[in-house]
Every structure is written in C-alpha cells, then in structure tokens.
Structure 1
Amino acid sequence: MRAMVITTGEEILKGEVVDSHASWISERLCELGVEVVRHLSVGDNLVSLKEVFSRVAGECEVAVVTGGLGPTEDDLTTRAAAESAGVPLVEDPVAAASVAAYFKGRHVAVPASNLKQARLPKGATCIPNPVGTAPAFCLELSGTRFWFLPGVPREMRFLMNESVVPAIVGLQPRGSRLVKTAITTFGLPESVVGERIAGIESGFPGVHVGYRASFPVIEVKIWAFAQEDAGVAKRQEAASAEALKRLEGYVVSEAGDSMAEAVATALCGAGQSLAVAESCTGGLIGNLLTDVPGSSDWFLLSAVTYANSAKEAVLGVSAETLEACGAVSGETVGEMAQGARRVSGADIGIATSGIAGPTGGTDEKPVGTVWIGISTEGGTETHRFVSPLKDRHQNKRIFAFKALDLLRRKVKVGDRENG
C-alpha cells in the first residue's frame, strides 16, 4: 500500500513552522507497512489545495492531510476537498454533534464561527474530535482514500492513532508489516557512516537503508516491508547484523535510543547514580539527561559551575589547581568530577570544562578543546578532546555528547567486569 502526506498552511511554506507533522505521520504509516512515497506542502490557497488533491487522487491508495479545518476564513481545506470531489458542503449531524459536545464540555455556547466546522463534503465520513473543535473526515477521490485531520498537533496525533491507524490496518493485506532496525551512532561524520554502509541495499534485495542526522548523532535505519513470506524479514535481519558489524565501536544503540536514553539504560542496568558538574556545556548534559523519563531515579545533581569561584565554593576545586593548571585542564575537571560525586553522594561524577568559541582559544588550548572528568569509587580519569569546529553551539553540543558517550562506555565496561 502506497501513501502520500499533505501538510497545509502558509506558515510551513514561509518557514515560520517546522513541518514535523509529515515526519510523524510517515513514521506511523511505515510502522503499519505502508510505503510513503511523497510529502507535499501547500499554502492556504483554494486553487493550490484543489490542484494538489487532484494530483494525488488516483496516484496512491492512502493520503493523509493535515491543517485547514479551523473556523477562520483562511481554513480552506474542507471546501477544497468538496470542490475536488464535485460535491457540495452540507451540515453533517455527526460533525455538528462533535462541535457541540466540545463546547458543552466547557460550559460555553458554540461560537457562530465554529458552526462552519460542522459542514463537510457530501458523502464524507465524519470522525468526531473529542479533543478539539474540528472534526476530521474521510473522503474518497478517484480511488484514493483521503483522511483530513486538524493541524493542531495534539488533535492530529490523537485522531491519527485512534481513528486513522485502525482504519488503515483494516485495509492492509494480511501479513503486511514493516521490519526495521534503528542504529544510533556517534563519533563518525555522516559521509563516513554512508561509506561504511555502502552496498548493503544491493547485497540484501528488498532491504532499504536510510539516514537521519541529528548533530552530532547519525541514525541508520535498515528496513523492509515484509508480507507473510519470512524471506524479506530474514534478509533485513541479516542486513542489520552486517551494518552493526561495519559500525562496530561507534554504535550507541541498536534500538534507536538517543544518547541520553542509552546512558540511562546503562546506569539503570548497573544500578549506578550520577552527578554532573558542567562549565563549558552550561547545563546541556543535565538537560539531555532529564529529558529521559524516570531520570530522577538515578540523576542526583546538576551543577553549572561556570566561574572559577563557583568551582571552588560548590565543588571544592582548589585555588592552587586553578592557578597552576587553569580552568580548562585535566586536573580541574578531575577535581570537579570528584566534587560532584562527593557533594551529591552519587556513584559517578562527570565534569566538563572547555573552550566552545568562537574566541578564547590559544595555541596550547585552541577553540574546540574540552576536558572531561569521570570519577567513581575506583578512581578518577580525565580525557581531552579537540573539536575541529568553531561554532559555539555545535561545540557545546558535541562536548556534551562526548562526555555522555565516555560515561556510557565506562558504565558498560564496569557492569561487564562486575557481572
């Protein structure tokens, strides 16, 4: 089954809003074994909307459209759908009940402008919206089944999961499914990752390879659409094993987990707690870690000790070390990591201090230099890394990921040794 995703709105075309809807919907469709063949974005223009709907109709089995179902004059998707189908807009009793129920639940009368949302193309199937004012609807155009969803993210996702996904599952051939492996890597540029993976598609027929870069992490997706025949699934499994072999030493996760999630898994598996002391990364490590649900179980402290005085007062770094070695040094981050561990009572303390740029570098310590300290009951180790980049924000991010990767490796090694 082939599908297209259409997102509407002038804000998308003007770059004011990132089109995250298309990627989210595509991922859900692919999980169902639906092949997404095209993304299209169109503004709030009646002629343009009709042209896109007419172009898509008959070219695929499924189309998912988001946006333009609101009560204002520039919400034109419903009208465009009706005119594309050659049918009038009529008041739909299910849609009217959905709109009325939403406002009744908030103890207010239905505003006159929202009555527009109860008018759907004649023959369309209404999908009530319990979490918003705009009912969704399904309409067939030239053999393509279109689902029209609100553009509000919460509403779109709810209706996609609750109504569209079950409907598409019912349309799928028996046994159709997506088999996918998502490999998160760190430490190699995208070009090198591509070179290492080259040839896998040709070597395993029916298997596809995709890449998603989210600096400084590269995710490699190995996927295939499998039917009842297990042959494609077995080739996908073999291709994934080959990819993991070629990327050995740089794999963070074999399940598509983020770096922070991989660290969390390692810490939880080892039963270890963590404290973080940051200088150049400015709290970014703590932010990444606390994005992981359940991080309060093992994350005890985040201290942004940017000034030398804070390093001394909060973490107990000695003035003599700072004077003799400087803030960006192995000696200083070692004492910072020890201090974070001591103050918090955590099993592990990590610390960063560096020069993110674009200024502040010297011949001895150029822009891009970072020192990372890791302190455990068994001792303290420090690592120096020099990024070739000069951009401050990119360096802060790569410093944070480098620290997390060293931590992840350290915990996994310790867990194996103890096991």
Structure 2
Amino acid sequence: MRPIFAEVVTIGDEILYGQITDTNTQWMSTELDKLGIKTIRKSSVGDQEEKILQILEEAENRADIILLTGGLGPTKDDITKKTLCKYFNDELVINEDALLFVTEFFNKRGRPLTEINRQQALIPSRCTYLANKTGTAPGMWFEKVEGGAKGKIFVSMPGVPHEMKYLMANEVLPRLKKYFDTPVIYHKMIRTIGIGESLLAEKIEKWEDSLPPHIKLAYLPSFGQVRLRLTGVGENEEILKQEVQQEVDKVLPMIKSFVFGYDNDDLEIALGNQLKSQGKTVSVAESCTGGFISHLFTKVPGSSAYFMGGVVSYANSVKINVLGVKPETIEARGAVSEETVTQMAEGARALMKTDFAIATSGVAGPDGGTPEKPVGTLWIACAMEGKTIARKIQMSNQRDTNINYGSVVAMNLLRKMLNGDYES
C-alpha cells in the first residue's frame, strides 16, 4: 500500500502580510493524518495569478491531494476560481445548485441577492460543487485523471476557518476516504522533562537505530521539555499500536526518570494527576513568573482538588508581609537568592496549609540585571514538611522565554519531590 501525500496551499495577500494568522493548515493536517494521509508541504501564496498557477503545478508534482483555501470571495481581489479555470483549461458557469443555495441564503436573512452575490454561484464547469452551508463561497472538487488510473485531487475551499472546517468534515474528508486506499498512521508521544534534546538522543541512540523501518522517531523540543514522537505506518491499526507500544516499553527503562506523561498529558495535567493520586496539595509563591505557574495549574478542570492558591509577591514588601520572608534576608542576600526563595516557599506552604509549595524569584529581563545577578538569573524552590530544595538556573535575556522556562523548571522540581527524588 503506497503512501498518500497532501499539500495544503493558503491563498491571500493578508496571510503573507501577517495581517491574519493561518490556523487552517494545522487543523487540516491533523484531520488528514487521521485518514492516513501525510501532509508533505504547506505553502502560502498571494493573490497573483502567475504565482498561484506556479504553485499549483509544483504541488501537483509533489502530492496526490492539493487542498486550497482562500480567494473565493465575491470581490475583484479574490481570483482563485478564475485561476483554477486557467489551470484546468475550463470556464466559469452558473451552477444551479449553488445559485439556489445562495438565493435562499440571502432570502432567509431578508437581504436582496445582488449581482456580485450571484457571482458566488459561478464555478468551473468541470468541478464538483461542494455545498458550503455555513457561507456563500462554494467548495470545488477537481479530479485530474490520466491514463485511467486514479489521479490527482484538487479541492478549493473558503479561507474562513469555520467554513473550511464544515466543508472538510462534511464533504472533503469523506470523499478522500472513499477515493484513496490509505495506510494507517499512528502516533505515540512520550513526554520528557529535565533533559536536553542532544543528551536524550545520546541515551537512546542504540534503541533509535534499531527501530523497524515502518516506525520513525522525531524529537520535538519546547521549554524545558522534549516530546519523543513515534510514528508508525502500516495496514492494521491494532497490530501497529502493539508494535509501537513494544518500542515504548523498550526505551522507557533508559529514560524513566525524565518521563512525565504521554500523548496529550501536558505537565500541569500530569502533575495534577500525581497530586490527586497521592492525596497531596500545592500552593505557589511567584515573583518573576508573575502568576504563570498559578495559571498553568488552574487552567486544568478540577484543579481545585489539589491547587489551593498562590501569591504573586512581586514587591519585597509582599514577600515580607504576606509570605514571612525576613527583612534581613532580603537586605543581606537580595530578593533573588537561595535564602529568599526558600523562605518564600516555606511561607506559602504555611500560609495556605499545603503539603507542597513552589516559589520563584529572579531577573526576568530584559533589563534589571547586575554583574552578580545578570538578566536570566532565577532561583526556584519547592518546600514540603521537613525539607526545602532550592535550585539556581541561568537563562537568557528574553522575558517571555524566562517566564515560561522558569515555570516549567519549578514545576519539574515539584514532580521530582513527589517522586521522592530530592537530589538530582
């Protein structure tokens, strides 16, 4: 069974100018993947006939399926239909089904059908009309067949996300499923934290080299985390799942201490499950992370079972008056210090009567650093009964990066202490 490849092309100057964010291609690729169709390229092109024709030709040479979004409005700058006619040596004609739909669309809204709206029913004569019940721009399905074999499929859809999704779900995906005999694509994600991509690759190098040809590994790094994505391709889904799980079982002993979850288990979800299973609670005291850790905890439904609250102690007076940090500690050691962050964690734990507490204090940047404590210096701490662990990390001068990365490192310290790892 040969693989089936797709290319997604977004059309519109507004995308290239950065005036709108393209969310369509990610969603489309995810849905295609579920059918066993692999997206091999995503392209964007402006409202220029020559450029659209060029990218259509290139995409046809690369892919079996070419999905287009955008450029289907009734105004003069929307040229997709006319360009498709030129590409397929076709002409625009009024499609009676499309005209009936557009007429009823405006009648139901008590609005007259203008000539410019009527032109929405103009589509290439040789395409299959796809009814868009959420808007007036039609979907269009083209089959380019040569020599009697199944050929290339072109589909043009509106760029408005909810209209595109309707057409994909109700028209395009069901047709693609019938048209192509597709393999099964199965993904399994191993979520790791506290180890860099290169070191992780070294640890699992022999295992990676021994993977069977139909199972591939990808490294997906983010703030303090690396996702290992195993992708298997085959004909039988159950057998493929078993084969991928066998590989997961082989690699786990090598990286177990760094694994916190699988697939969609974000760190805050995994931590919440761990806290609930142990019957433990947590609170936070944040300075440089400004409440971001609290946000991560509380965006999980049901987090009130284990997350009791947080204090954003940005000012030293709040550290002293609310969390009980000693004034002499800040005077002698500064707000960004092991001693201060330790007292912050212990103060939050006492204040909110929790089993654990996380604290952060640092120089997030982009300014405010000193030679002794440059921008990116961050102290984190986690307190439990009878024990508090503090760690210093040095990051960049990028404020958002420091906040995100620092929050992840602090939450990972909690994960380690929940696991009884008090040293690494």
TM-score normalised according to structure 1 size: 0.84
Q: For 1:200-349, list aligned pairs within 5 A.
A: 200=208, 203-228=211-236, 233-295=241-303, 298-344=306-352, 346-349=354-357
- Displacement, 1:365? 4.0
- Residue 193 of structure 2 is matched in structure 1 by 186
CA distance in structure 2 between the partners assigned to 1:217 and 1:164 by the alignment: 36
Alignment of 1:384 onto 2:413: no
Structure 1's 55 and 329: CA in aligned 2 closer, same or farther, altered over 3 A?
closer
Does structure 1 retain, via aligned residues, the 8 Å contact 2:361–2:380? yes
- Residue 7 of structure 1 is matched in structure 2 by 10
Does structure 2 retain, via aligned residues, the 8 Å contact 1:207–1:232? no
Alignment of 1:157 onto 2:168: no
- Displacement, 1:309? 1.3
Does structure 1 retain, via aligned residues, the 8 Å contact 2:341–2:361? yes
| Residue number among 60, 63, 67 corresponding to 2:70 in the alignment | 67
- Displacement, 1:277? 2.1
| Residue number among 162, 170, 173 corresponding to 2:178 in the alignment | 170
- Displacement, 1:16? 5.0
**Deviation digits for residues 67-104 of structure 1 (CA, Å, limit 9, x no counterpart):** 22223322222222232222222233443455455556
Identical aligned residues as a percent: 36
Structure 1's 413 and 178: CA in aligned 2 closer, same or farther, altered over 3 A?
farther
Does structure 2 retain, via aligned residues, the 8 Å contact 1:206–1:232? no
| Residue number among 112, 115, 129 corresponding to 2:118 in the alignment | 115
**Deviation digits for residues 20-56 of structure 1 (CA, Å, limit 9, x no counterpart):** 4333322222222112233222221112212222333
399-408 vs 33-42, which moves further: 33-42
CA distance in structure 2 between the partners assigned to 1:366 and 1:9 by the alignment: 44
- Displacement, 1:280? 0.7
Number of aligned residue pairs: 412
CA distance in structure 1 between the partners assigned to 2:281 and 2:138 by the alignment: 47
- Displacement, 1:396? 2.0
- Displacement, 1:239? 3.1
What SS does structure 1 have at the residue aligned with 2:77? coil
Does structure 2 retain, via aligned residues, the 8 Å contact 1:197–1:243? yes
- Displacement, 1:400? 0.8
CA distance in structure 2 between the partners assigned to 1:177 and 1:367 by the alignment: 48
- Residue 148 of structure 2 is matched in structure 1 by none
- Displacement, 1:296? 5.1
- Residue 350 of structure 1 is matched in structure 2 by 358
CA distance in structure 1 between the partners assigned to 2:98 and 2:42 by the alignment: 28
User: Which amino acid in 1 is paired with 2:85?
Assistant: A
Alignment of 1:136 onto 2:139: yes
**Deviation digits for residues 135-154 of structure 1 (CA, Å, limit 9, x no counterpart):** 32322234212222222233
CA distance in structure 1 between the partners assigned to 2:180 and 2:248 by the alignment: 26
- Displacement, 1:282? 1.6
User: Which amino acid in 1 is paired with 2:338?
Assistant: G
Gaps of 5+ in 1: 415-419
Structure 1's 122 and 358: CA in aligned 2 closer, same or farther, altered over 3 A?
same
Gaps of 5+ in 2: 146-150
CA distance in structure 2 between the partners assigned to 1:314 and 1:73 by the alignment: 63
User: Which amino acid in 1 is paired with 2:119?
Assistant: K
Q: CA RMSD in A?
A: 3.2
| Residue number among 93, 98, 112 corresponding to 1:95 in the alignment | 98
- Displacement, 1:330? 3.3
Alignment of 1:43 onto 2:51: no
Alignment of 1:124 onto 2:127: yes
- Displacement, 1:134? 2.8
TM-score normalised according to structure 2 size: 0.83
Structure 1's 9 and 334: CA in aligned 2 closer, same or farther, altered over 3 A?
same
User: Which amino acid in 1 is paired with 2:40?
Assistant: V
CA distance in structure 2 between the partners assigned to 1:126 and 1:264 by the alignment: 49
